[in-house]
Amino acid sequence: MAIGSTINKVSLSIANMDSHYYATHELTVAQHPSENDFRLMVRLIAFIANANENLTLTKGLSTDDEPELWQKSLTGEIELWIELGQPDEKRIRKACGRAQQVIIYTYHEGKATVWWQQHGEKLARFKNLSIVHITASGVEALAGRTMNLQCNIQDGEMYLSDNDLNQIVNLKGY
């Protein structure tokens, strides 16, 4: 018998002084059985970094046809495709062909560096692709079945907190 996904409820208040975006999002996030708390939080960080009213979480790990997050226009065109980790070149090529903009968020420093060294030159040809590395040590401590998170972004720094913990998240582009 297969293990089902864990359902997490997230109340997320975002104050992004850099982009002047201020909103609260009520999210239901399915955590795949193979997804650890750190990766779940990386997904939320990617959501926060690109938050708007049209950005949605997808089925993610459980499907090959969708990214982790995406933003679609009213006509169904994919405006933004967001992947996590170190996807293969075939998947990146597919994403860049289907979406106006593609962002890959890497999150394991060692693995990301090796991946970038192997693929960076080939990926440079995709003009609609951005790659950002997330450094968020300890952020998994904020994860839970019910989360009430506040996020402030100012001068490129992200501060993520709940009632007990505060974490600094750094985003660095390649």
The DSSP 8-state label assigned to residue 140 in this structure reads: G
**Exposed/middle/buried for 33, CB within 10 Å: 0-12, 13-18, 19+?**
exposed
Identify whether 14 is part of a domain: yes
Identify whether 146 is part of a domain: yes
Q: What is the CATH number of the domain that holds 36?
A: 3.10.640.10
Sequence-ordered alpha helix ranges (H) in the chain: 37-49, 89-98, 109-123
Nearest to 45 by CA among 88, 79, 80, 14: 14
Distance CA(172)–CA(15), nearest Å, equals 20
Q: What pLDDT score does 56 carry?
A: 94
Which residues contact residue 41 at a Cβ distance below 8 angstroms, ignoring those fewer than 6 apart?
136, 139, 140, 142, 143
Q: What pLDDT score does 156 carry?
A: 84
- Coil/strand/helix, residue 40: helix
The DSSP 8-state label assigned to residue 60 in this structure reads: G
Question: Distance of CA 7 to CAs 33, 45, 156, Å?
Answer: 11, 18, 30
Q: Is the pLDDT of residue 1 over 70?
A: no
pTM of the model: 0.93
Instruction: Provide mean pLDDT across the span 2-7.
Output: 79
H or E element at residue 82: strand 78-84
H or E element at residue 81: strand 78-84
Q: What is the pLDDT of residues 124-168, one digit of tens each?
A: 999 999 999 999 999 999 999 999 999 999 988 999 999 999 999
Which residues span the domain enclosing 155? 6-173
Q: What pLDDT score does 63 carry?
A: 65
Q: What is the pLDDT of residues 51-90, one digit of tens each?
A: 999 999 987 655 677 899 999 999 999 999 999 999 999 9
Q: What is the pLDDT of residues 7-56, one digit of tens each?
A: 999 999 999 999 999 999 999 999 988 899 999 999 999 999 999 999 99
Q: What is the pLDDT of residues 85-115, one digit of tens each?
A: 999 999 999 999 999 999 999 999 899 999 9
**How many independent structural domains does the chain possess?**
1
Identify whether 1 is part of a domain: no
Q: What pLDDT score does 4 carry?
A: 80
Q: What pLDDT score does 5 carry?
A: 83
Identify whether 55 is part of a domain: yes
